Amino acid sequence: MEVVIEGTVFKIESKDYYVFDESGKEFRCSLKGRFQKEFSLKKDKLYAVDIACVGDKVEFDLNKDGSGVIKQIKPRKNYISRKAPRLKGAGVRGERLEQIIASNLDNVIIVSSCDQPKFNNRLIDRILVAAESSHVQPVIVINKIDLDKKHNYKLWVQLYKSLGYGVLESSVVEKIGVINLKKILEGKTNLVCGQSGVGKSSLLNSLYPVLNLKVGTISNYTSKGTHTTVTSVMKKVDVNTFIIDTPGIREMDPYGIKKEDLSHYFRDLSEYLNECKFNTCTHYHEPGCGVVEALKQGKISKERYQSYLNLLETIEEDLFFS
Ligand SMILES: Nc1nc2c(ncn2[C@@H]2O[C@H](COP(=O)(O)OP(=O)(O)OP(=O)(O)O)[C@@H](O)[C@H]2O)c(=O)[nH]1
Ligand SMILES: [Mg+2]
Ligand SMILES: [Zn+2]
């Protein structure tokens, strides 16, 4: 007789899906063919994407050898995704696939650094859009404050706090702010993401030494393409606390957002939408735009508006598979 077990996918390595059950016991599983989605790119080329991801709740059959076969993926509460990197052989207009980073989340912890690498508010805004559109609570961590003796980062803290986001300032080196992060993570399933080298793994190690994550050196993230963390892995650190450490993100193009909807995911812009003359307004070149007016009056930050424009531009060149 088949034994059916319920569990959560915590790691994916090529075709192997690692799942833990309620008691924490780990199983190596395979995925049935029907969970693969195929996309045709060119006449003769097929690209298949597995549709299970880290965080998925699954049911699997147990084989005699102790491995499993996933037979059901339960509906996701939510998930964070982005456009998969461009594929070789894809057309100029860039057919882009969806890459799901993780599912069933309570928090997206967006880690950035004051310096090394340079503070990157564009990336923060992009991840915020992904979080907002997926209905996952974002929290911003500004790490390496020890490297900003003039406290320039305070302006960013102010900006994001004024938008209603939780913002933490931290330094792993000087042990500042790290405990506050722990309070946010506790009892939740947390996706920790951000650029390579900002200190995601360092922060997590300092809170939960048991994680023993690999920490990079400066050269790791300045030399292109080298990442310390290879794939996303979810780990249980406490009774109900789960952490997903992800490798550094260089590109974050939120997937499947229409240009007329983009402004809904910018809290500061969305306030002014009903003041636009046209309801199809993209808040760029249209006359009678409430957002542009608010910008002129200094009610919207120029930086945030610039992030909006940058995203708008990426969306326009898209072609989606569904
Ligand atoms: N000065 C300073 N350095 C830090 C701080 N936190 C981490 N670092 C250093 O930054 C470098 C990168 O840290 P990691 O924790 O590997 O960064 P990461 O975000 O996990 O990077 P990826 O795994 O590549 O995405 C290491 O050399 C850390 O020692 C901090 O608060 N201040
Ligand atoms: Mg790391
Ligand atoms: Zn407008």
- The CB density around residue 47, as the number of other CB atoms within 10 Å, is 17
Residue 212, token pair as written in the block:
């023993």
* For residue 220, pLDDT beyond 70: no
Q: Is the CB of 290 under 6 A from ligand 1?
A: no
d(CA 258, CA 263): 10
Banded pLDDT at 51 (limits 50, 70, 90): confident
Number of residues that make up the chain = 322
d(CA 116, CA 72): 43
* Residue identifier of the C-alpha nearest atom 8 of ligand 1: 199
Q: Is the CB of 192 under 6 A from ligand 1?
A: no
Q: 211: CA distance to ligand 2 center in Å?
A: 11
* For residue 280, pLDDT beyond 50: yes
Q: What is the pLDDT of residues 99-110, one digit of tens each?
A: 889 999 999 999
Q: Which of 32, 36, 30, 6 is nearest to 18 (CA)?
A: 30
Q: 295: CA distance to ligand 2 center in Å?
A: 37
Give the pLDDT confidence score for residue 92 in this predicted structure.
Answer: 45
Q: Which has the minimum average pLDDT: 121-135, 200-214, 221-235, 239-253?
A: 221-235
Angle between helices 178-185 and 200-207 (to 10 degrees): 80
* For residue 218, pLDDT beyond 70: no
User: Which residues have CB under 8 Å from 272's CB, separation 6+?
Assistant: 290, 291, 293, 294, 299, 300
* For residue 93, pLDDT beyond 70: no
* Residue identifier of the C-alpha nearest atom 24 of ligand 1: 196
Q: Is the CB of 176 under 6 A from ligand 1?
A: no
Banded pLDDT at 227 (limits 50, 70, 90): very low
Phi and psi torsions of 97, nearest 5°: -100, 165
238 DSSP β-pair partners: 241
Q: Is the CB of 144 under 6 A from ligand 1?
A: yes
Q: Is the CB of 112 under 6 A from ligand 1?
A: no
Q: What is the pLDDT of residues 68-82, one digit of tens each?
A: 999 999 999 999 998
* Average predicted confidence (pLDDT) for the chain: 88
Please identify every residue whose CB atom is under 5 Å from ligand 2, which is an ion.
Answer: 200-201, 228-229
Burial 17-29 (b: 16+ CB within 10 A, else e): bbbbeeeeeebeb
Banded pLDDT at 225 (limits 50, 70, 90): very low
- Ordered by where they begin, the domains of the chain are 4-75 (2.40.50.140), 100-245 (3.40.50.300), 262-320 (1.10.40.50)
Ligand 1 pocket mutation pick from 195, 202, 203, 246 by most atoms within 8 angstroms of CB: 202
47-59: average pLDDT: 81
Q: What is the pLDDT of residues 170-202, one digit of tens each?
A: 999 999 999 999 999 999 999 999 999 999 999
Q: What is the pLDDT of residues 290-301, one digit of tens each?
A: 999 999 999 999
Query: What are the distances in angstroms from CA 269 to CA 47, 73, 139, 275, 287?
Result: 38, 37, 19, 11, 16
* For residue 116, pLDDT beyond 90: yes
Q: Count CA within 13 A, CB hemisphere, residue 92.
A: 0
Give the pLDDT confidence score for residue 86 in this predicted structure.
Answer: 64
Give the pLDDT confidence score for residue 20 in this predicted structure.
Answer: 97
Q: What is the pTM of this model?
A: 0.91
Strands (E), 45-171: 46-50, 57-62, 68-73, 79-83, 95-96, 98-103, 107-113, 137-143, 166-169
* For residue 163, pLDDT beyond 70: yes
Q: Which of 81, 67, 70 is nearest to 35 (CA)?
A: 70
Which ligand 1 atom is at minimum distance from the Cα of 172?
31
* For residue 224, pLDDT beyond 60: no
217-234: average pLDDT: 58
Banded pLDDT at 126 (limits 50, 70, 90): very high
Q: 205: CA distance to ligand 2 center in Å?
A: 10
Q: Which has the minimum average pLDDT: 258-262, 273-277, 313-317?
A: 313-317
Ligand nearest to C-alpha 308: 3
Give the pLDDT confidence score for residue 87 in this predicted structure.
Answer: 59
Give the pLDDT confidence score for residue 36 in this predicted structure.
Answer: 64
* Residue identifier of the C-alpha nearest atom 6 of ligand 1: 199
Q: 209: CA distance to ligand 2 center in Å?
A: 14
